[in-house]
Amino acid sequence: MIGCLVIHGYTGGPYEVEPLVNYLHEHTDWHIEVPTLPGHGRQLDLKGKSHKNWISAAEEALKGLMEKYERIYVIGFSMGGMISAYLAAKYKVDKLVLLAPAGKYLSFKQIAVDAGGFVADGVRGKLGSNKLYNHYRNKLGRVPFKANLEFLKLVKFTRGYLKKVESEVLIAQGQMDGMVPYKTAYYLDKEITSERKEVVFFERSRHLICLGDDRETLNGMVLQFLTK
């Protein structure tokens, strides 16, 4: 039996990876865990939370799966990707999927393009229908500055474990990602020492890759990678 851990991103929640998780539920009999990291979810409460809290929560979820299942797959989105890489290095999981992993940040060029889209939609009176704007608007004012520092600490800490990853790895990255530069995938490909790696770029995807226009292709690719 297979246990699969899926870890969401910074300031996000399980909803960020929901389409992929639902797809895996429909096409497999795996037990899939999608924990909400401390302070995360639809109602953010990040005050007083640290990067150690986030890593510990994911680690405890993984330990629970390892006690019950023979094979373990770990999937991580954005910050969750970096946590996943750390867990794979420490516990030698069977397969690892990194979705827009936050190994580097930020892509100011794409952020400028996205901001231009906000302005254009605002002029046309369509800002309320801009999905990207609505996603980040809901977070404005609810993320303490200290939480952002904790995010940076997490990225720095987990980077040190990339060279210890020996699992088979799939890295998926959107070329229109406004949060993490798409070249991050090249960086991770270089840093991760596993000889079994695949790197795939999605032309139409922004940072929320599981919710983007390429999600159906992404879902199929992840399933194929995990079942081959």
Confirm whether 78 is a catalytic residue. Answer: yes
Is the pTM of the predicted complex or chain greater than 0.85?
Answer: yes
- The C-alpha angle with vertex 190 and arms to 206 and 104, in degrees rounded to 5, equals 40
Tokens (6 digits) for 192: 């991760």
Active-site pick, 78, 84, 167, 205:
78
Residue ranges of domains in the chain, CATH in brackets: 2-106+147-227 (3.40.50.1820)
Establish whether 177 is a catalytic residue: yes
Q: Which residue did the predictor score with more confidence, 36 or 182?
A: 36
| pLDDT at residue 4, as a whole number | 99
Residue 92 pLDDT: 86
Q: Assess whether pLDDT exceeds 60 at residue 127.
A: no
Annotation says 8 is catalytic: no
Catalytic residue among 107, 177, 205, 214: 177
Q: Which amino acid belongs to residue 69?
A: Y
Q: How far apart are the C-alpha atoms of 85 and 203, rounded to whole Å? A: 24
64-80 pLDDT, tens digit each: 999 999 999 999 999 99
